[in-house]
Amino acid sequence: MTARRHGFRLAAALSVAAMLAGCASGPQVAPQRSPLAHWSPSPNFNARKAQLIVLHHTSIGDTEAALRVLKTHNSQGPVSAHYLVEMDGRIDQLVDEGDRAWQAGASRWAGMTDLNSSSIGIEIDNDGHSPFTQAQIDALIRLLADITTRLGIPRTAIVGHGDIAPGRKDDPSVQFPWDRLASYGFGLWFDAPLTPAPPGFDTLAAMRLVGYDVSVPRDAIIAFHRHYRAMETESLDSTDAAILYSLQRKLMAPRQ
């Protein structure tokens, strides 16, 4: 066999091997990462698909400490989130959006139970008692716009950890400005001025429609109050009924 012929056969064999390797490994999927964030990977994840965005506060108020926890473990075991928004507005991405971060825990929303598999988790560096910084809220609004646009998540599908785990979690705290997010079109919010709910209006049924797990009504009411009224009381009043009536009408309105 001549050297030329041998070289041709070797090249052909290598070409076939490369094709077979490509078939075996399947199509290469590009990483899903925000151009707004610094990629700072955590190993605490597995694969899933996002339909919801869950907001948290770290309860630490120290960025470096929060990053250590999100990349290692806490007293209950390993935890992570897809993003961390720092005090100065810097955005860190710790887990690829196509992967399952460990941030929701035992939770439920709108009938979904495996929320780690169906949500993007965003931690905000805050001790749970102090106001969130302007830089953080501005960065969060940019990040929400980016994620919802790229992943096709509805802008109303943004909730707090306390909403999906009432009685177990309270983040983000009553300090979080949900109304400010709503002014940019993020999260489900009520219309003002409020219209009184009609006689016989079922507030718990409306809360269930919004997404809350009302199996323990007291916990659900406190979570609802934290989100929509920046307080943590456990009794519903006429203002709550009017808010829920507005939210119910929005959810039941025909889609354009």
Residues 170 and 237 placed together within one structural domain of the fold: no
Count the Cβ atoms, other than its own, within 10 Å of residue 14: 10
**Boundary-marking domain end, from 164, 189, 214:** 189
pLDDT above 80 for 10: no
Please say if 97 is a catalytic residue: no
Q: What is the pLDDT of residue 17?
A: 40
Least confident piece of the model among 9-13, 36-40, 164-168: 9-13
Q: Residues 161-176: pLDDT tens digits? A: 999 999 999 999 999 9
Catalytic residue among 64, 97, 123, 232: 123
Residues 100 and 197 placed together within one structural domain of the fold: no
Complete DSSP assignment for 37-51 = SEE---S-EEE---S
Angle, vertex CA 90, rays to CA 92 and CA 159, nearest 5: 70
Residues 75 and 166 placed together within one structural domain of the fold: yes
Two tokens at 19?
């094709």
pLDDT above 50 for 229: yes
Query: How many alpha carbons fall within 13 Å on the CB side of residue 226?
Result: 27
Residues 122 and 242 placed together within one structural domain of the fold: no
Give the domain range for residue 75.
38-189
Q: Characterize 127-166 residue by residue with b for buried, 16 or more Cβ atoms within 10 angstroms of its Cβ, and e for exposed.
A: ebeeebbeebbebbbbbbeebbeeeebebbbbbbbbbbbb
